[in-house]
Amino acid sequence: MQHFSHHYQSDISRQQFDLIRQDLEASRKRTHPKHIDPYDIFCAMLYVLKNGCTWRDLPADFPKWSTVYYYWMNWSKAPTPDKPALLTQVLKKLSLIED
């Protein structure tokens, strides 16, 4: 699995990510092994949310912008109108957004 080296203020710790890892990995179809650590993908999303940059402007020490965007689209889809998206659920779990 490929790991990226990044240290930004928007990054969360590995311990914080362990609280949500199972939630994020459960949403993925297990058709082949992972090549990129979901921690790096999630931190890239936090970078975009905090800095308001475009996907193509992600720093090179994150996974490719198209990979991050793919996961963003999957994790931000609400399964039903009355149930929040997975991304919203994990951000609340980490207390990064309020109800």
Greater confidence (53 vs 33) lies with 53
Domain that holds residue 87: 12-23+32-94
Instruction: Give pTM, 2 decimals.
Output: 0.86
- pLDDT: which is higher, 2 or 64: 64
51 found inside a domain: yes
Has residue 89 got a pLDDT over 80? yes
- Total of domains in the chain: 1
Residue 73 lies in a domain: yes
All residues at 6 or more sequence positions from 85 whose CB lies less than 8 Å from its CB, including other chains: 75, 76, 77, 78, 79
Could you give the CA distance from residue 64 to residue 95 in angstroms, rounded to a whole number? Answer: 27
